[in-house]
Structures are given as structure tokens and as C-alpha cells.
Amino acid sequence: MTYRVCFVCTGNICRSPMAESVFRARVAEAGLEDRVEVDSAGTGNWHEGEPADQRTVSVLEEHGYDSEHIARQFQPSWFARLDLVVALDAGHLKALRRLAPTEEDARKVHLLRSYDPAAGDDLDVPDPYYGHHGDFEDCLGMVEAASAGMLAAVREHLEGRAA
């Protein structure tokens, strides 16, 4: 059985495609690519059909990650097929939980940085869109820091399914 993860930010051109690329790489490194499907979307449709922001692409490529991406908007019907919906900030968390058709679906939504024990109380990944290259680098650092804990949680869930 496949475990499905979707990262969600505002327009699906900066943070969520970055998180998707990083987590897909972690899943592959763990040898779980046949068991875990990774995707991303935005809460809005402003950039639907567009590639990731060039600064996101640049930072991903500089760090050896895949940067292929086409933006799309998250749809409430996706909850039925997803196991984990990962919000990049508290605004996305709130919006996604409002979109969730059921309480069970709302419980699938978590903040990315909640998987990083070093994040403390600041669980938002700031939007780098109006910033500079360094803001995209900072975003990547936050995504990478949370990925190990998130992979551990997904692996635990997979092992629970197998039992």
C-alpha cells in the first residue's frame, strides 16, 4: 500500500515544491520510493500551470535536488487519497483544516516544522517570495531540518501498516 504525502503552501511555486523535492530525495535515500508518493500544491490558483519560482529552482539545483515542477491548487477531494497533508505555515494549516471534508481528514494536516525538534515554537516556514536568494536558502535549511523527523514518522506509520 502506498503512503501519500502532499506539501502545501500559498501558490505552489516556492516552499511546497522545495519541500516536495527535498522529501522525495529523503524517501529515495531511504529506499522507500516504491511505498511513499510525494506531491505538492498551493492553497490558491495564482500560479497554476507555472514552473517553480526560478530562485527555488536555483537553490534546489545548487544543493543537488530535482527541480521539475508544475504548480497546481490543492483540492478538498484529495483528502480521500492522502495520508499526510503538510502545511508550510499556520495560515496554510488553518485553510487546509477548513477545507477538510471530515474531522479525520483535518487530523491529516500537520505543520512541516513540527517534525523538527529544534524548531521550538516558531513552526512557520517564512515565504521567501518577496525576499532574496538568502531567504530561499533559509527556507531550504528549514525544510531539510524537518525532513528527517518527518521521514521517521512516515516510516513508523508504514511499519504500523505492515504489522
Please write the tens of the pLDDT for every residue from 84-121.
999 999 999 999 999 999 999 999 999 999 999 999 99
Query: Which is the catalytic residue, given 15, 26, 55, 113?
Result: 15
Q: Which of 4, 72, 97, 127 is catalytic?
A: 127
Q: Which domains does the chain have, with CATH numbers?
A: 3-162 (3.40.50.2300)
Long-range contacts of 131-135 (CB under 8 A, 24+ apart): 133/55, 133/58, 133/59
| pTM (2 d.p.) | 0.97
- The predicted-structure confidence for 49-89, as pLDDT tens digits, reads as follows 999 999 999 999 999 999 999 999 999 999 999 999 999 99
Pick the catalytic residue from 9, 89, 105, 139.
9
34 catalytic? Reply is no
Active site residue 139: no
Look up 6 and say whether it is catalytic: no
